[in-house]
Amino acid sequence: AQKITQTQPGMFVQEKEAVTLDCTYDTSDQSYGLFWYKQPSSGEMIFLIYQGSYDEQNATEGRYSLNFQKARKSANLVISASQLGDSAMYFCAMRGFGGSNYKLTFGKGTLLTVNP
Amino acid sequence: EAQVTQNPRYLITVTGKKLTVTCSQNMNHEYMSWYRQDPGLGLRQIYYSMNVEVTDKGDVPEGYKVSRKEKRNFPLILESPSPNQTSLYFCASRGPYEQYFGPGTRLTVT
């Protein structure tokens, strides 16, 4: 079984500054994937970034990067140069690579507010 | 454009009236699944399908049915909806790494 913990229910950041959203995970799988999704107020789930457990380098996608520390079981999302449109709920998720169900296990989310 | 579509986007219904939420993907993905999202509980998997005619229960399957007669479609069926099924529902299909989510269906059962 997998578990995702996001300890920050809400975060505030000034426009153009960087922000880190925390995520820790627990799993007994040797091989797994970590994901971040963004959910704006309109409700859709938008995929942001993926990190495989055996990837040696931290994943980056534009202004998003994933700070992966395997020994600490953490997968923090870093958003650089925040924009007003980044205000949304952010979910960390993971999937174990054992078994046939590609179920994503989600954390409870962090509500990010970007202030002008 | 690669996408997952769901219909309807919004639905208000009454207890016991059967309904179907449709889901379709145009990416030829084999794996599809349904989630529900509730405040304080996050997203939880209802059912999943590995391929045509292959479906299985997720974490919260009670009160739901699914079918997978074609690869692109994976409808969610509520045969006798109850108020505790009021939720935001997402269909998803799996790509090489990430899962693509549909836009969501906000269901209210009164």
- Cross-chain residue pair B100–A47, CB shorter than 8 Å: yes
At B97, is the pLDDT very low, low, confident or very high (cuts 50, 70, 90)?
confident
- Cross-chain residue pair A102–B90, CB shorter than 8 Å: no
**Whether the Cβ atoms of residue B76 and residue B63 lie closer than 8 Å to each other:** no
**pLDDT tens digits, residue range A83-104?**
999 999 999 999 988 776 788 9
Q: How far is B43 from chain A (nearest CA, A)?
A: 6
* Model pLDDT, residue A5: 97
pLDDT value at B77 more than 90:
yes
* Model pLDDT, residue A103: 86
Partners of A74 in the β-ladder: A24, A69
Bridge pairing between strands A110-115 and A10-14: parallel
Flag whether residue B108 sits within 8 Å of chain A, measured between CB atoms.
Answer: no
Q: Mean pLDDT lowest for which of A9-23, B12-26, B38-52?
A: B38-52
pLDDT value at B99 more than 90:
no
Query: Which residues in chain B have Cβ-Cβ distances shorter than 8 Å to A45?
Result: 90, 92, 101, 104
Q: In chain A, which residue's Cα lies nearest the Cα of B102?
A: A44
* Model pLDDT, residue B2: 81
State what percent of residues in chain A have pLDDT above 90: 85
- Cross-chain residue pair A104–B40, CB shorter than 8 Å: no
Q: How far is A43 from chain B (nearest CA, A)?
A: 7
Q: In chain A, which residue's Cα lies nearest the Cα of B56?
A: A101
Distance CA A95, CA B101 (A): 15
Rounded to the nearest 5 degrees, what angle is found at the Cα of B102, between the Cα atoms of B9 and A59?
A: 145
Flag whether residue B63 sits within 8 Å of chain A, measured between CB atoms.
Answer: no
Q: What is the mean pLDDT of residues B79-105?
A: 93
Distance CA A37, CA A49 (A): 7
Closest Cα partner for B36 from B14, B1, B6, B67? B6
Query: Which residues in chain A have Cβ-Cβ distances shorter than 8 Å to B35?
Result: 104
Distance CA A2, CA B77 (A): 28
Distance CA A29, CA A27 (A): 5
**pLDDT tens digits, residue range A46-63?**
999 999 999 989 999 999
pLDDT value at A22 more than 80:
yes
* Model pLDDT, residue B56: 93
Flag whether residue B10 sits within 8 Å of chain A, measured between CB atoms.
Answer: no
Average pLDDT, chain A: 94
* Model pLDDT, residue B101: 95
